[in-house]
Amino acid sequence: MKPTLRAVAEAVGVSRSTVSNAYGRPDQLSPQLRQRILDTARQMGYPGPDPTARSLRRGFVGAIGVLFTSRLSYAFTDPFAVRFLTGVAEAAERHESSLLLVPLPGEPAGARKAVENAAVDGFCVYCAGDEEGILDTIRGRGLPFVTTSARPREGDRWVGIDERAAARSVAEHLTGLGHRRVALLGHDVLPDAPTGPLRVTDVADVPHPTTRDRLAGFADAFAAAGIRWPELTVLTAPDNTRVAGAAAVRKLPAGVEPPTAVLACSDVLALGALEVLRGAGQDPRPVSVTGFDDIAEAAPAGLTTVRQSGEDKGRSAAALLLDPPPDATTRQILLPTTLVVRTSSGPVPRS
């Protein structure tokens, strides 16, 4: 028969709460009594109070959830996601908290269920597609959350960058170099759309907030240069990977004037585009390519991109969740970005 907390208490001659304190609140006991309880429990084969039940009684679990819009492996393979998680983990360690990675299925019902079933004290929402629906589910549980995109709702906690302004800066760099015939490359621009060129009536129709803001920033710069949204080629990739970025660029239609520049919404997509556009048998005239994030692989590839710190974003997000400042106005953090110009961008080639 499995030993119980009651049995240990009777064997030592103390109350059940005293045995519980030996595990959960050792400061309430003398070192000698606590050691006697633990020794007796070990001899009887008692493993200690059930951690789930104990966390429910305390009112907290000791873990924060990190929500991803994609499969779990994304957290370990996407370079920027890895940097973000590193920052989150550093802050969690300081607060003696652990992490639960929660991938969100594509369908809304599955995503809601994942959030409802996660045993956590709060959430860091990283790259959630149906962000509004996810946040409503979290609010329904009464748990705190921090997003990585700016939120208009007063009192919400977020750590982000001005995505639209940062994207506009890299597009303005290209318009200054004379580029007018360009392709914009994003991940999952519209749900279930096939890889390659995509007709998007309005950038506001793009559901993912990060992709939408970056495409809007690109469009702002080209609009200022006299190029309207319908004149811009939009390419969609099914995943945020090099392979997907390369596949999208390969789908550019033959027999038409190719773009002189490709503006990608992430570095990994841009690196995939570079592999195709610099590959054997391609037009010898260089096509400018830009990215976003400045991951470690960007510099060796000479990629022009927007730099943001994934570690700072992760640390700040976890700190806001675990130890929020009392003043609500300081619970919204706008991090800086920098345009980094390298060799992948240049003037429009002469005919």
Burial (CB count <10 Å: 0-12, 13-18, 19+), residue 320: buried
Q: Can you give 108-119 as a three-state secondary structure string? A: HHHHHHHHHHCC
* pLDDT of res. 307: 98
Question: What stretch of H or E contains 274?
Answer: helix 267-277
- Of residues 253 and 108, more confidence is placed in 253
The answer to the question of residue 345 being in a domain is no
Q: Given strand 332-334, what is the order of strands in its sheet?
A: 98-103, 63-68, 123-125, 145-147, 157-160, 332-334
37 burial type by CB count under 10 A (0-12 exposed, 13-18 middle, 19+ buried): buried
Q: Could you tell me if 141 and 255 lie in one domain?
A: no
Residue type, 151: R
Residue 76 or 341, more confident: 341
Q: Return the pLDDT at 1.
A: 67
310 by Cβ neighbours in 10 Å (0-12 / 13-18 / 19+) ranks as buried
Which pLDDT score, from 0 to 100, does residue 328 have? 64
State mean pLDDT over 150-168: 89
pLDDT at 129: 61
Q: Which residue has the higher pLDDT, 312 or 48?
A: 312
Average pLDDT for 128-150: 83
pLDDT in tens, 226-267: 999 999 999 999 889 999 999 999 999 876 788 999 999 999
Predicted confidence (pLDDT) per residue in 111-129, tens digit: 888 888 888 889 999 876 6
- Token digits of residue 23: 């595990």
Indicate whether 342 belongs to any domain: no
CA–CA gap between residue 155 and residue 192 (Å, rounded): 34
pLDDT digits (tens, 9 = 90+) for 188-233: 899 889 999 999 999 999 988 899 999 999 999 999 999 999 999 9
How confident is the prediction for the chain on average, in pLDDT?
88
> Which band of pLDDT confidence, cut at 50, 70 and 90, is reported for residue 349?
confident
Q: Which residue has the higher pLDDT, 150 or 298?
A: 298
56-60, 131-135, 249-253, 301-305: lowest mean pLDDT where?
A: 56-60
Contact 273, 262 (CB under 8 A): yes
- Both 10 and 135 in one domain: the answer is no
Is pLDDT at 289 greater than 90 in this prediction? Answer: yes
**30 and 74 share a domain?**
no
Residue 256: inside a domain, yes or no?
yes
CB atoms within 10 A of CB 126: 26
Q: What is the pLDDT of residue 300?
A: 96
Give 17-78 as a DSSP string.
Answer: HHHHHHHH-GGGS-HHHHHHHHHHHHHHT---S-HHHHHHHHT--SEEEEEESS-TTHHHHS
Number of domains in the chain: 3
For residue 55, pLDDT beyond 50: no
**pLDDT at 24 > cutoff 60:** yes
Q: What is the dihedral of CA 224, 229, 233, 235, to 10 degrees?
A: 110
Q: Is 289 in the same domain as 202?
A: yes
56/62 Cα distance (integer angstroms): 11
User: What pLDDT does 52 receive?
Assistant: 47
Tell which of 19, 40, 58 closes a domain.
Answer: 58
Q: 322 and 276, same structural domain?
A: no
Please report whether residue 343 resides in a domain. Answer: no
317-334 mean pLDDT: 84
Whether 323 and 247 share a structural domain: no
pLDDT of 284 higher than 80:
no
* 351 falls within a domain: no
Quick check: is 261 in a domain?
yes
pLDDT number for residue 194: 94
Q: Does some domain include residue 87? A: yes
Query: Residues 300, 180: one domain?
Result: yes
* 19, 82: one domain: no
Would the pLDDT of 57 be above 70? Answer: no
Same domain, 298 and 200: yes
Same domain, 114 and 231: no
Q: What is the CATH number of the domain that holds 31?
A: 1.10.260.40
| Statement to judge: residues 202 and 90 lie in one domain | no
Note whether residue 350 is domain-resident. no
Nearest-angstrom CA–CA distance, 176 and 219: 14
pLDDT at 48 over 90: no
Residue 20 lies in domain: 5-58
* CATH code of the domain covering residue 86: 3.40.50.2300
Same domain membership, residue 278 and residue 209:
yes
Q: How confident is the model at residue 58 (pLDDT cuts 50, 70, 90)?
A: very low
